[in-house]
């Protein structure tokens, strides 16, 4: 059966909405986890540092797809049943958060020592030092790598196809079943849509970068 581009459009739009939803929720949770775990990694309290390191090592070493399978298919056998959206967001955020934590940590460590000394000289307490002096400077360094991380996050949302969430990839597979002869066109279109979504993320990060660089 020969489709027209217009016949492809509604399903792909539905898929894009799901992909954007999962990506958006995961991005928010990833940034929260990254900041929390990254700050814990530079904490003065050794047990907190160690716990954060265990978290980072654990999730950086595990395979995201296997993690997603485990959370969605295996966890119910342990009595924890999560809806698809929650399982997807949780798996992606825990995984990306571990990478984000390393970005936060290395950016904080890259702030020159003199800044800490200056904060001590001004008699700021550790919380004030972090929030008023160190973090704002580290934040600017974090933006480019966090932008890359968000692209990786966006790409990884395609894996939710495996738990039959009707995201972009899943809808494209349905379209492919219906219009088999258009397989190459459908996948090319799919790649282009992901590329456009990634370009949107890149543009937003660039705008933020410029804004914060100017604000400094």
Partner 1 sequence: MWSWDYVISILPDLLRAFRVTIAATLAGFAVAAVFGLLLAVLGRSGWKPLRLAVRAFVEFVRSTPLLVQVFFLYYSVPMLTGLSLPAFATGVIGLGIHYSTYMSEVYRSGIDGVPKGQWEAASALNLTKTRTWLSVILPQAIPPVIPVMGNYLIVIFKETPILSAITLVEMLLTAKNTASVTYRVFEPYTMVGVIFLVISYAMSLVVMRFEKRLRR
Residues that bind partner 1 (CB under 8 A): 57-58, 60-67, 69-70, 73-74, 77-78, 151, 155-159, 161-162, 169, 172-173, 176, 181, 183-184, 187-188, 190-191, 194-195, 198-199, 202
Separation between Cα atoms, residue 176 and residue 182, nearest integer Å: 7
Separation between Cα atoms, residue 169 and residue 15, nearest integer Å: 7
Judged by CB, which is closer to partner 1: 17, or 115?
17
Contact 157, 163 (CB under 8 A): no
Instruction: Find the shortest distance in angstroms from Cβ 169 to partner 1.
Output: 6
Separation between Cα atoms, residue 205 and residue 216, nearest integer Å: 16
- Measured in whole angstroms, the distance separating CA 1 from the mean position of its chain's CA atoms is 38
DSSP sequence for 94-144: HHHHHHHHHHHHHHHHTS-HHHHHHHHHTT--HHHIIIIIIHHHHHHHHHH
Judged by CB, which is closer to partner 1: 50, or 66?
66
Instruction: Find the shortest distance in angstroms from Cβ 191 to partner 1.
Output: 5
Instruction: Find the shortest distance in angstroms from Cβ 117 to partner 1.
Output: 26
Judged by CB, which is closer to partner 1: 130, or 186?
186
Judged by CB, which is closer to partner 1: 60, or 210?
60
Instruction: Find the shortest distance in angstroms from Cβ 123 to partner 1.
Output: 37
């Amino acid at each position: 059966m020969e489709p027209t581009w217009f016949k492809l459009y509604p399903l792909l739009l539905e898929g894009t909405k799901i992909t954007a939803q999962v990506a958006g929720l995961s991005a928010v949770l990833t940034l929260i986890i990254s900041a929390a775990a990254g700050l814990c990694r530079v904490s003065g309290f050794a047990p907190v540092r160690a716990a954060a390191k265990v978290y980072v090592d654990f999730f950086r070493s595990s395979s995201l797809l296997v993690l997603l399978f485990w959370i969605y298919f295996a966890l119910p056998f342990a009595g924890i049943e999560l809806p698809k959206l929650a399982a997807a967001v949780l798996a992606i955020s825990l995984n990306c958060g571990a990478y984000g934590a390393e970005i936060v940590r290395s950016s904080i460590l890259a702030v020159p020592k003199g800044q800490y000394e200056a904060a001590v000289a001004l008699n700021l307490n550790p919380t004030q030092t972090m929030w008023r002096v160190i973090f704002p400077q580290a934040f600017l360094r974090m933006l480019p790598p966090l932008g890359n991380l968000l692209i990786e996050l966006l790409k990884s949302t395609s894996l939710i196809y495996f738990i039959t969430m009707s995201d972009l990839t899943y809808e494209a597979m349905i379209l492919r079943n219906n219009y088999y002869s258009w397989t190459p066109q459908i996948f090319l279109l799919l790649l282009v849509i992901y590329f456009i979504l990634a370009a949107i993320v890149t543009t937003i990060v660039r705008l933020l970068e410029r804004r914060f660089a100017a604000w400094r």
